[in-house]
Amino acid sequence: MTTIAMAVHGGAGPDSKYIRVNARGYEEGLKTAIMKGCEVLEKKGNAVDAVEEAVRYLEDNHLFNAGRENNGALKRWKSFMISLIESSHIFRQKRN
């Protein structure tokens, strides 16, 4: 049996009333992003495609500012690092 694990980060910043009021939406958004990534893995997709699917969801969710400039303009940069067992690193950037 293969164990699948995925973690997502919804951003960082100061606490605010908006965040507290929308806490359930943030939690559901993070869960959905993880589910979308895990679905790729369950269908025998690779880890890079799974991460891209999770990030794409966060970019499209209005609660997260993933892929957006400070002024709200859509930028849609995805970047992440893959750490392989041999401690070599691959950095991948993709712009939609």
Segment 31-58 mean pLDDT: 91
Give tens-digit pLDDT for 49-63. Answer: 998 899 889 888 888
Q: How far apart are CA 55 and CA 37, in angstroms?
A: 9
Residue 88: its pLDDT value, please?
A: 45
pTM of the model as a whole: 0.70
pLDDT (average), residues 66-93 = 57
**Residue boundaries of the structural domains of the chain:** 17-95
Quote the pLDDT of residue 40.
Answer: 95
